[in-house]
A and B are shown apart, each in its own frame.
Chain A
Amino acid sequence: MSGKLNLAKKDFVSDQEVRWCPGCADFAILATVQKVMPELNVPKENIVFVSGIGCSSRFPYYMNTYGIHGIHGRAPAIATGLKMARPELTVFVVTGDGDGLSIGGNHLIHALRRNVDLKILLFDNRIYGLTKGQASPTSELGKKTKSSPYGTVDRPFNPLTLALGAGATFVARSVATDTTHLAQVLRRAAAHKGAAFVHIWQNCPVFNDGAFDEWSEREVRDDSLLKLEHGKPLVFGKSKEKALRIGDGFRLEAGPMTGSALVHDETRDDLALAMALAALEPPLPQPMGVLRAVQRPTVDALAREQEEEAARKRPPDLRALLHSGDVWTVGTN
């Protein structure tokens, strides 16, 4: 892309009235995405937002770009086809915890495995919002919802370990209430060439209010969140007085920041560190930021290369193709 496009946040705001409940954290995510878009310096006609079904999946209607509001769970697959047909486009996927991890779990893991060049934003409110409050695959064990009045009996997914396990080349987490951090993570995701998975904590004040308070509230967040920075020690606490290190039994453990701490490295080829961070459980802090960012060829580019290579070797000739194999001629007499 040559030259700076003169785009502003308002260029990405569509003429549609936004219909989320008052106080929904989706508003903050939308505003942050719209704010970050001009920085990508991509003409908006080259941007497509693809979503599934859910409150979060209404997102494309509010972006003044191309967009598809698809069917429940299938956004990663729709986007894969789009990206393979048009590798030059910038394609975002917006999905929810139900959309992306329940009905569409299969498509999500395969899009990550294939490393399709997609930016996948998973809005996790740990509940089914649009269908009015049933348990989701990220609802904590024992959670009482409309569909689980006695509490859920199934364990939730950890979206980060799931994405890492599926082979995602970029995995990050942020939270809708910290829009500065969210914007940073979105910029990183957009810059990543390959499947970028961004897990976003998103409060649903109507059906699951306060789902992330234990980590993200002002009074607790310094101790309960671990802000990841590439090449920097893994430290947390009000004055960064606590650090993570490798303890006995191949485990991460927290202790006072004395001497050396484990240093974060997003680019590690093996999954050991990213997985260990992704799997941290309270009382250890929850990781925020980029866990993994590695470069691998994308499926859309590989497929296109195969086509171009084939065309170089054998220029397309439909007549020759039809006439291949054993051909014979019947004369006119």
Chain B
Amino acid sequence: MELRGHRIPMFVSLLVWFALWEVFGRLEVVSLIPPFSEVVAALAVVVPSESFVEATTVTLQAFAIGMTMSLTVGIGLGMLMGRSPAVASVMGMWVNIFESSPLTAVVPALMALLGFGLPTMVVTVFLFSVWVIALDTQVGVERVNPSLVEMGRSFGASNRVLYSTIVIRAALPELLAGIRLGLIRGLKGVVIGQLLIAVVGVGYLFELYSRNFLMPEFWALLIILFAFAFLASEAVAYFERKVSFYASSR
């Protein structure tokens, strides 16, 4: 943001928004929105509470397992689709359908199948994130300069070395974009899954806070989630910026 030619640091604009929030909250126009100061106070109460620690542990565990699965499967599938037109034509349509379908609708069926625990959450994370990772990996691999691959082969690289040192590395700009989007979708997946299950993790806390009308706590939890999603995607974006210079010079 700029004002009269001066760049305003992000924290200043955040402060302005928090101030507006505070004023709006104190006016008590909408009971759903408490003043920002109350939310901050709630943060201090929520974070150390046993229910929060427990919910976070369950959530992060499901998220980590689900993401590991979708990174493995997504990158592998994307590389196959990128290198083999046959695989791309067999799998491409399905991956695209799943990527753009409202997978939330599948979660109740998963619950019926897998129960109300960890497996449902893990599969939800996986289903939400794997497709975009596969598609972006495919695009990255397709954009790898064919003569880089020929160069590797001409100097005697085995297929394994070719993929691990040249293809993956050259596809990194798109691959990282896919991972960043996948992380955000996976996080959405775990929270949506938990909201639908309503008896575990962060979803349970949301349910609990909103049912009992604990709005400051509700917003505190939301802010923590936002911050986590933001930090995770910024971490990947940091590496993306480091490799972006060669997206144009391959």
Q: Do A and B come from one complex?
A: no
- A residues at B contact (CB < 8 Å): none
